[in-house]
Structure 1
């Protein structure tokens, strides 16, 4: 018996001939697909979050703080800040944005899904000072009129001054009361 016949016999014995995908193959394929989906989400999140905070710092906005629940993104963002020479000047916290106190923030940049826009509108209006500016990427606030819009398509951003948003809400309330 030569080695090729022996290998074929061993393979048939282990995997069965003509039985198609075995449980091990399916599990391995599923795990691999899951890994690639996770890695893709991680890279996309890291690219947007850490780049925006670093860019804000480079434009003179200080302190520059990022909030993220994923500990891997926090560590990778801190690494990116270190590589950009901004470590110790740009901060990433493993903290839930919904639990963070934003009352001392004057500039806020958010990159969120549309489903969280309404509760975020309420949180920012309740916590931010009048002089604060909020910039959103990808999705505008639904009930706020932007002070400025820049970019096109997926690279579009909207800027809102909290004082103007509050004044517009007060005027709208007065009109509905009259």
Structure 2
């Protein structure tokens, strides 16, 4: 009995000895020393990053109409949405050099069009005698043919262009009707117009230089040419045309001739010259200059 009591006391005292360090003799932890760098010590500890959430879309009531869509962006300044800038082969915007190359290419294309379509007719003609193509208007053609009404004999159009004056002369009974033109493209257009009007084979369009053709058998001459070629052409007509011939000039008159009659005003005005009277006036002026 005594031994049992002693053993319990010993066990109880052993338990107290093990529990003592957790009470009185417990070691306290010292606080964590501050950082040596004051800037780092003053910087607050980053907290959790904010999370962006999309705003909640309001619920659409049943039967309500859909909200209108925003208007489409119009092309604006560079860098704005909807910009419609020209892009180069690499997808980037065109720079100054690319724009210069584009301008040069456009100029070359325009020159090539002139060289292919219009220039072939002028290659063998001196520059001062070249006449650009300018079609006559309907009223100009009507006035020119009105001054030839009632006449007969061979009718020629010097620089016939698209052939409209030759066709109108044939309709009026002036036959044969011939057009002289050097440009092959305008000659093709003239033949097409004659075929479309039903006069194919009845009118003639010849690829000849008007400065080299012989006009001695012509009785009616139509001239719609620039004023720069009128003086040398007047010399040719005086030397070759018969006295019965009549010359009708459109747009610009012959500066040294006196017209027999005229019709129209402004750009639609035309002048008629009878070669017999023109020669008589030329001889009179020559005799007066001698005296």
Structure having the larger proportion of residues in strand? 1
- Partner SS for 1:14: coil
TM-score normalised over the length of structure 1: 0.81
State the match for 2:232 in structure 1.
Answer: 119
**Runs (5+) with no aligned partner, structure 2:** 1-86, 120-131, 137-159
Contact kept in structure 2, 1:108 and 1:135, CA below 8 Å: yes
Rate the CA distance shift 1:161–1:20 in 2: closer, same or farther, 3 A. same
Structure having the larger proportion of residues in helix? 1
How far apart, in 2, do the equivalents of 1:72 and 1:13 lie? Answer: 36
- Per-residue CA deviation, residues 82-124 of structure 1 (Å, 9 max, x unaligned), is 1112221211111100011111111000111111000000000
Residue of structure 1 aligned with 2:258, choices 145, 161, 165: 145
Deviation at 1:46, TM superposition (A): 7.2
Residue of structure 2 aligned with 1:95, choices 208, 229, 247: 208
Deviation at 1:28, TM superposition (A): 3.7
Deviation at 1:17, TM superposition (A): 3.4
State the match for 1:62 in structure 2.
Answer: 175
Matched, 1:176 2:282: no
Deviation at 1:39, TM superposition (A): 10
Rate the CA distance shift 1:79–1:12 in 2: closer, same or farther, 3 A. closer
Runs of 4+ aligned residues of structure 1 deviating over 4 Å after TM superposition are 31-42
Contact kept in structure 1, 2:118 and 2:183, CA below 8 Å: no
Q: How many residues align?
A: 167
**Runs (5+) with no aligned partner, structure 1:** 1-10
Contact kept in structure 2, 1:45 and 1:73, CA below 8 Å: no
**Root-mean-square deviation (Å):** 2.7
State the match for 1:5 in structure 2.
Answer: none
TM-score normalised over the length of structure 2: 0.52
User: Pairwise mapping of residues 50-89 of structure 1 onto structure 2 (< 5 A)?
Assistant: 50-89=163-202
How far apart, in 2, do the equivalents of 1:101 and 1:76 lie? Answer: 25
Deviation at 1:29, TM superposition (A): 2.5
Matched, 1:45 2:133: yes
Rate the CA distance shift 1:72–1:176 in 2: closer, same or farther, 3 A. same
How far apart, in 1, do the equivalents of 2:118 and 2:263 lie? Answer: 25
Deviation at 1:14, TM superposition (A): 2.7
